[in-house]
Amino acid sequence: MLSQDKYRIALLSAYAVGLHGLESLLPSPVPWLKFGLANIITLITLILYGFRAAMTVTLIRVLLSSLLTGTFPGPAFLLSFGGGVVSTMAMAVFSGVRGLFSAVGLSLIGAFFHNMTQLLLAYFLLIQRIEPVLFIAPLILFIGTLTGLINGTVSELVLRHLKKS
């Protein structure tokens, strides 16, 4: 039988995988660009249950989603894995500064580190030319900031609702 903590992590991971799947049905401004809806679950998990639970949700989501979409162990998996791990670590570090960052602030930090990690991985593993990375970086960072703001706002609303109930 699952302990309550393992049950929570399994349920939150299922939500994250489900949101990832739902996101694949949404139109995207750029074919390979995602809005990062599953990161809402990671952020909520981090705030409610801490770093270990959030990293577990991230790892399960990335692995299961890549297996379901057939991207394991290809470039999309590596970019998703790297971005997810680094952004979760960055949000955890900044969440340790109590009261300084809201869910929105942590989401923006996570989005920045996620995007920068993916750009660096794309450069080192795939492109190996700086010009295309520098060309696409402003668009990626701009859209990442917008989605980080939206995901953080949704996370904040969910957390407020959970505190009331």
The DSSP line for 71-124 is: -TTSHHHHHHHHHHHHHHHHHHHHHTSTTT--HHHHHHHHHHHHHHHHHHHIII
Please give the helix or strand (H or E) that residue 6 lies within, else none: helix 4-24
- What are the tens digits of pLDDT across the range 120-144? 999 999 989 999 999 999 999 999 9
- What are the tens digits of pLDDT across the range 60-71? 999 999 999 899
Q: How far, in Å, are 35, 67, 80, 162 from residue 70 at the CA level?
A: 19, 5, 13, 35
- Domain chopping of the chain, boundaries: 4-164
Q: What is the DSSP letter of 29?
A: S
Using a pLDDT cut of 90, give the percent of the chain over it.
81
Residue 53 confidence (pLDDT): 97
The span from the CA of 120 to the CA of 99, in Å, is 31
Chain Cα centroid distance, residue 101 = 17
> At residue 58, does pLDDT exceed 60?
yes
> At residue 36, does pLDDT exceed 60?
yes
- What are the tens digits of pLDDT across the range 76-115? 999 999 999 999 999 999 998 867 999 999 999 999 999 9
Q: Is 149 helix (H, G, I), strand (E, B) or coil?
A: helix
Average pLDDT value over all residues in the chain: 93
> At residue 2, does pLDDT exceed 80?
no
Using a pLDDT cut of 70, give the percent of the chain over it.
96
Residue 81 confidence (pLDDT): 97
Residue 110 confidence (pLDDT): 98
The span from the CA of 28 to the CA of 92, in Å, is 28
Number of helical H runs and strand E runs in the chain: 6, 0
Residue 31 confidence (pLDDT): 66
> At residue 39, does pLDDT exceed 60?
yes
Yes or no: is domain 4-164 CATH 3.40.50.970? Answer: no
Q: How far, in Å, are 34, 53, 54, 163 from residue 60 at the CA level?
A: 18, 11, 10, 26
Greater pLDDT, 28 or 140? 140
Q: What are phi and psi of 37, to 5 degrees?
A: -60, -35
> At residue 151, does pLDDT exceed 60?
yes
pTM above 0.85?
yes
Q: State the burial class of residue 27 (Cβ atoms within 10 Å of its Cβ: 0-12, 13-18, 19+).
A: exposed
